[in-house]
Amino acid sequence: MRVVEWYSWHFPELKNIVTDVIKYCKLVQLIGIKDKFDFDLNKDKITEITEDEEITEKIQKVSNLSVGQELSNEDLSNIVNFSNEIISLYNTRTLLWNYMDNKLNILAPNLKELVGNRLTSRLISHAGSLLNLAKSPCSSIQIFGAEKALFNSLKGNKRTPKFGIIYNSSYISKVPPKLKGKMSRYLSSKISIVTRIDTFSENPTNNYGVVLKKQLEDKILHMIKGVKLSKNIDYINTAEQLYNDTIERTRQELGDEQGKTDKKKKK
């Protein structure tokens, strides 16, 4: 981190106390030149950033014993500007992440529940749209992102890749190397199922994603430890029951709200 390296010439002990980058940048902006900063007067402001009084005490203590060199006003100005850029980028990233999270809750709740925000967005982006992803067979989903390696292996008569983007999934990282190919096939089949549910369901919920996520976790235990795995139909029946219960509960809530609205109109 460039700001940490730069400011450490002046206050090297701070990076060992505050490891969070955003908090570090905010402290750099607040403290500036430590010899001119009144820690007693600004103790509450430091605690507001660190969210820990003990850390605030440590910062104040080491500032008096710091072995850092002096910092010019020009260097400080550049460090503060750099810190502003980092905080701004972080805020933008958080804003976009929240936007994506809200959108996926509406467009692909089951897929998001199954594989998370990051992998869901990468799969949809690679396919071009949620509809294109739903139309893709699970064998294609399995090697999304590894098409070039696939063509090269076919051309050179070598072993074909077993996974692409989905390699980043936590499900695949949990199994031994010799089982990763098998797990990737199983995962891609579940991705294909929940994507089609999200695309063509009139009232999409995350119920199928929750149940199939449990099925994937059970599958991992079955592959590694030999734990008995329930039948596929049992998981589907459970998901359907949850879905029906959710729809019924939503209808009742909407009915109650409509009834309250009608009563207000009559009054």
Secondary structure of the chain as H, E, C letters: CHHHHHHCCCCCCHHHHCCCHHHHHHHHHHHCCHHHCCCCCCHHHHHHHHCCHHHHHHHHHHHHCCCCCCCCHHHHHHHHHHHHHHHHHHHHHHHHHHHHHHHHHHHCHHHHHHHCHHHHHHHHHHHCCHHHHHHCCHHHHHCCCCHHHHHHHHHCCCCCCCCCHHHHCHHHHCCCHHHHHHHHHHHHHHHHHHHHHHHHCCCCCCHHHHHHHHHHHHHHHHHHHCCCCCCHHHHHHHHHHHHHHHHHHHHHHHHHHHHHHHHHHHC
Query: What pLDDT, on the 0 to 100 scale, is given for residue 133?
Result: 95
What residues does CATH 1.10.287.4070 cover in the chain? 2-97
Q: What is the CATH number of domain 2-97?
A: 1.10.287.4070
> So what's the pLDDT on residue 263?
52
pTM of the model: 0.78
- pLDDT of 1 reads 64
Where in the chain is CATH 1.10.246.90? 110-266
Q: Domain 110-266: state its class.
A: mainly alpha
What is the reported pLDDT for 223? 92
pLDDT score for 162:
82
Q: Which parts of the chain sit beneath pLDDT 70?
A: 1, 256-267
- pLDDT tens digits, 154-203: 888 888 888 889 998 999 999 999 999 999 999 999 999 999 999 998 88
Predicted pLDDT at 147: 82
Gap between the Cα atoms of 217 and 209, Å rounded:
12
